[in-house]
Amino acid sequence: MEFLKFNAEKCILCGLCVEKCPFNALHIEGDGIVVGDTCRMCGLCVRHCPEKAIRFEQRASTVDKSKWNDFLIYVEQERGEIHPVAFELIGEARKMASKVNFKVNCVMVGGAGTAENARKLLEYGVDHVYVYEHEGFEGFRADCYADAVADCIAATRPSSVLIGATALGRSLAPRLSTRFHTGLTADCTTLDIKPNTDMVQIRPAFGGNIMAQIAITRSRPQFATVRYRVMDRAQRVKSPAGEVVLCPVNDAMSVSRIKILSSTVIERQKSLEEEDILVVAGRGVRTEKDVEMCRELADALGGQLAFTRPMVESGYGDTAHQIGLSGRTVRPKLIITCGVSGAIQFTSCMTGSECIVAINNDPEAQIFKVAHYCIVDDLYQVVPKLTALVQNRKED
């Protein structure tokens, strides 16, 4: 296979890689090492080579796209549950797959219970769920999880790999795309596919009010991460026809150099993403007291107060309550922005909201481009008035 490259000048033919290879894929032939078809990209040889003569390699310009087919979705588990972003990725992949006659497959890595969770995916119309279940996969570590998913990619040769842009996904995806020497587009907000199987990947880019359309035209697989709550969830299918495939895990694959010492559940309230009503304080809100004014509105509405990045950087709120590319993406039923200018990093993470109200005294503010109801006025008059109206209604 084209994946492993041996540097003949450095190789001393010690045979350690041949001995360590769990798949018996390596052989010494003449004065070099030959990689057989059973290679699963586990990377043990790269790790063990004393001369550092082995590396992963795939030349970007030489890929034959017809040999890379179907979608592969990495399905994340969180405390034994499927992370809901997976259903959104399945929904999006199924839409694209129908255009180019691709299958939609999933891969799961984890400890006990993973195969059981895998079965739950079938009713959403996926074709195969590849499961790497092993006690060694209890708890996320980027190195051994990457080894398992790389094994699946090498075996199934997907055209595209979709991964949720969670803390875990953003740690895993770059390791995989780097290992396969291919492209990764982070935080896509729109995905589509061309007849030649190149994905059309759209993401908000670089500071300005700009969207970038990004393509990976010369290499496979194409990697994309997608935020939670950006895409529509997959619908259940009437007669699921997919199957769960249990993949063999050898001990070497599940060994990580990272040792988990403890893992504790973070006790938390309803997260920003789960909230139906949000009030957002932006830079137009000038003091701590004014932030409280916005909080009163949020409380009256039974929602939560959120912040823009400048507000968090100024210490008014924490990142768990920040909306934007470096914070959370939200799709509440109602979002009321107070004194928010509406930079693309903010708006791209809330335009999925059902009803957007913008209050800002600057008629040129970018936020008015995405708002459904626009109030060009002083928030210091509007917000207290609205709070009072809501409170009075409750008293009626």
Query: Which one of 280, 351, 352, 367 is in contact with another protein (CB under 8 A)?
Result: 351
Q: Is 373 in the site for another protein (CB under 8 A)?
A: yes
Is residue 315 within the footprint of another protein (CB under 8 A)? Answer: no
Beta strands in 85-188 (DSSP E): 104-110, 128-133, 160-164, 184-188
Q: What is the DSSP letter of 276?
A: S
Name the residue nearer to another protein (CB basis): 153 or 370.
370
Confirm or reject binding of residue 278 to another protein (CB under 8 A): no
Q: Which of 264, 288, 289, 364 binds another protein (CB under 8 A)?
A: 264
What residues from 31 to 50 belong to the interface with another protein (CB under 8 A)? 43, 46-47
Beta-carbon count within 10 A of 117 CB: 20
Q: Name which position in 2, 135, 313, 362 contacts another protein (CB under 8 A).
A: 313
Per CB under 8 A, does 390 bind another protein? Answer: yes
Question: Residue 311 interacts with another protein (CB under 8 A)?
Answer: no
Q: Which stretch binds another protein (CB under 8 A): 32-40, 67-75, 180-188, 235-243?
A: 180-188
**Helix, strand or coil, per DSSP, at residue 353:** coil
Q: Could you say whether residue 111 binds another protein (CB under 8 A)?
A: no
Closer to another protein at the Cβ: 27 or 372? 372
Report the distance separating Cα 275 and Cα 293, nearest Å: 19
**Distance between CA atoms of 52 and 49, rounded to whole angstroms?**
5
Residue 88's SS3 state is helix
Long-range contacts of 250-253 (CB under 8 A, 24+ apart): 250/22, 251/136, 252/20, 252/22, 252/42, 252/44, 253/22, 253/42, 253/132, 253/134, 253/136, 253/144, 253/147, 253/148, 253/151
Q: Which of 24, 38, 98, 178 binds another protein (CB under 8 A)?
A: 178
Residues numbered 154 to 173 that lie near another protein (CB under 8 A) are: 166-168, 170-173
Report in angstroms how near the CB of residue 312 gets to another protein at its nearest. Answer: 9
State the nearest-atom distance from the C-beta of 269 to another protein, in Å. Answer: 12
Task: Name the DSSP class of 153.
Answer: H
When the beta carbons of 106 and 382 are compared against another protein, the nearer one is 382
- Count Cβ neighbours within 10 Å for each residue of 68-100 and write b for 16 or more, e otherwise: bbbbbbbbbbeeeebbebbbbbbbbbbbbbeee
Task: Kindly report the backbone phi and psi dihedral angles of residue 292, in degrees, each rounded to the nearest multiple of 5, phi listed first.
Answer: -60, -35
Asked whether position 391 contacts another protein by CB under 8 A, the answer is no
Site for another protein in 192-221 (CB under 8 A): 200, 204-219
> Taking contact as CB under 8 A, which single stretch among the options 21-29, 152-160, 183-191, 278-286 is the one that binds another protein?
183-191
Residue 177 lies near another protein (rule: CB under 8 A): yes
